[in-house]
């Protein structure tokens, strides 16, 4: 079994940083680099934070909490931020969110660094010594809870960045807001939450509103790699709910009623034809998935109703609108042809995550120093979704994937995010801290003249 708890040699990483600091993709804007005298204490502070970051990650992993229920996580985060003597630590934002504010020793812009805090209703099967045995309530039932998407690592890395930047406050130009966001996986029931609620409550308003934001997400790529994509990186997601209503009758005489199961089956099949036959797929990928169908109680009773639930993924707003319209038309037509009635509800779960191209060009030298130029790769569009896109609807943002997969395990065999076996190579955490710190330190100095 590979060693999941090994840490990278900082001297080796530092050597690679300085040998690759001047290597950038053709055409990329080159920001001025920090003077070597200022860079060395900064890198030493990052290195010194590594074991604490790992310890934080293991603590949060062992004590996960579901969306909008991150009570103990938020208490721990706020307590750690207060130890760092930040200028402000705000709690209770969007239910359980925490925002710490650090004012640097030099004048400069306000920027934000974001980490999500919530876990998933998944039964952990990693066998880690700090595996979760936590329970929570989801849809009215008790469920196991696990950090199966790596948010434990996100919180730990952002705390690490806060620690380093607080120690280097005198060298920091401007203000950094450390945003610990709840409910990225979606608030429960009819509750509001996540990035949208933080914005509604004023996170991006006022005199200290950030002008740019960075988020990292761990991914099963090779540990320490950074993956980016200009423009649309992760898909918009919409939740789909369809209720088909027929007329109950005995299963031996279906002509005496209206069969919603037969109708629902036609709907589920027909929706798969929308992307390939009714939408311009050259404008962006489209995914239509029905993940849940419920109806009936006995094999010889045709029920009154059937419910279908699914998800829609798109990368283009016009295509998204077309999909919604054609889906409603298709469902209504099939229901009418079978004598059934239907209700369709589409609710937005997340917009497209769009990396600002100019900001990406501006920060490429930072990414090259954080991971090594050869480990910064352009990636494909991802049909997974992230509510980080709500921030990017208001200010320029970058959302990056940080590889945490064991390079000795074939990529196809690494557990994906949301798997009960999902784990990370902890050696990658320091690369994440270096990226977050680098963004905060380099953004002011890299402004186009």
Tell me the catalytic residues.
118, 184
Non-local (6+) Cβ contacts of 414 within 8 A are: 220, 405, 406
Query: Residues 312, 204: contact at Cβ < 8 Å?
Result: no
DSSP class of residue 146 equals: B
Tokens of 141: 């039932």
Alpha-carbon distance of 258 to 255, in angstroms, equals 7
Tokens 């049909």: give the residue. 383
CA distances from 399 to 227, 243, 429 (A): 9, 36, 16
**How far is the C-alpha of 74 from the C-alpha of 351, rounded, in Å?**
26
Give, in order, the Cα–Cα distances in Å from 26 to each of 254, 361, 365.
67, 11, 12
User: Coil, strand or helix: which one is 384?
Assistant: strand
**What does the alpha-carbon distance between residue 66 and residue 117 come to, in Å, rounded to a whole number?**
9
Q: DSSP string covering 177-199, please?
A: EEEEE--TT--STT---HHHHHH
Output the CA torsion sign for 425, 429, 435, 438.
negative
Cα-to-chain-centroid distance, residue 353: 9
For β-strands 397-405 and 213-222, DSSP reports them as: parallel
Q: Provide the terminal-to-terminal Cα distance of the chain, rounded to the nearest Å.
A: 52
Tokens of 41: 């204490």
**Cα(276)–Cα(357) distance, integer angstroms:** 29
**DSSP, res 28:** -
Tell me how far apart the alpha carbons of residues 210 and 395 are, in angstroms, rounded to a whole number: 8
Give burial (CB, 10 Å; 0-12/13-18/19+) of 103.
middle
Residue 132's nearest CA partner among 355, 409, 423 is 423
**d(Cα 71, Cα 74) in Å, to the nearest integer?**
5
Q: Count CA atoms closer than 13 A to 353's CA, side-chain side.
A: 26
Q: Give, as one character, the DSSP assignment of residue 21.
A: T
Q: How many other C-beta atoms can be found within 10 angstroms of the C-beta atom of residue 395?
A: 16
């Amino acid at each position: 079994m590979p060693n999941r708890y090994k840490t990278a040699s900082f001297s080796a990483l530092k050597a690679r940083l300085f040998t690759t600091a001047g290597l950038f993709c053709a055409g990329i804007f080159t920001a001025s680099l920090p003077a070597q005298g200022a860079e060395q204490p900064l890198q030493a502070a990052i290195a010194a934070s590594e074991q604490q970051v790992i310890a934080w990650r293991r603590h949060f992993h062992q004590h996960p909490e579901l969306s909008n229920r991150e009570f103990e996580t938020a208490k721990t985060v706020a307590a750690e931020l207060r130890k760092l003597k930040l200028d402000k630590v705000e709690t209770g934002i969007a239910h359980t969110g925490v925002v710490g504010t650090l004012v640097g020793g030099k004048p400069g812009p306000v920027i934000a660094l974001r980490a999500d805090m919530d876990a998933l209703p998944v039964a952990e099967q990693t066998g880690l010594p700090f595996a979760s045995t936590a329970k929570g309530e989801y849809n009215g039932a008790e469920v196991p809870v696990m950090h199966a998407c790596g948010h434990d690592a996100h919180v730990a890395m952002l705390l690490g960045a806060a620690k380093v930047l607080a120690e280097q406050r005198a060298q920091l130009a401007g203000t950094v807001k450390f945003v610990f966001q709840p409910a990225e996986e979606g608030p429960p029931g009819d509750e509001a939450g996540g990035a949208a609620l933080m914005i509604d409550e004023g996170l991006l308003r006022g005199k200290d509103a950030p002008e740019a934001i960075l988020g990292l997400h761990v991914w099963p790529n090779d540990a320490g790699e950074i993956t980016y994509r200009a423009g649309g990186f992760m898909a918009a997601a919409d939740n789909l709910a369809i209720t088909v209503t027929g007329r109950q009758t005995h299963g031996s005489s279906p002509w005496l009623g209206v069969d919603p199961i037969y109708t629902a089956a036609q709907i589920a099949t027909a929706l798969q034809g929308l992307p390939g036959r009714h939408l311009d797929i050259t404008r962006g990928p489209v995914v239509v998935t029905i993940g849940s169908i419920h109806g009936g109680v006995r094999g010889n009773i045709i029920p009154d109703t059937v419910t279908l639930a699914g998800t829609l993924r798109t990368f283009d707003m016009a295509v998204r609108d077309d999909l919604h319209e054609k889906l409603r038309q298709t469902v209504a037509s099939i229901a009418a042809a079978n004598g059934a009635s239907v209700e369709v509800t589409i609710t937005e779960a997340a917009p497209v995550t769009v990396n600002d191209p100019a900001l990406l060009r501006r920060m490429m030298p930072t990414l090259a120093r954080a991971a090594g130029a050869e480990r910064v790769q352009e990636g494909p569009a991802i049909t997974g979704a992230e509510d980080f896109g709500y921030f990017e609807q208001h200010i320029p943002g970058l959302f990056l994937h940080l590889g945490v997969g064991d390079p000795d395990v074939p990529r196809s065999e690494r557990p994906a995010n949301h798997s009960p076996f999902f784990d990370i190579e902890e050696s990658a955490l320091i690369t994440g801290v270096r990226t977050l710190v680098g963004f905060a330190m380099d953004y002011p100095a890299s402004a186009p003249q």
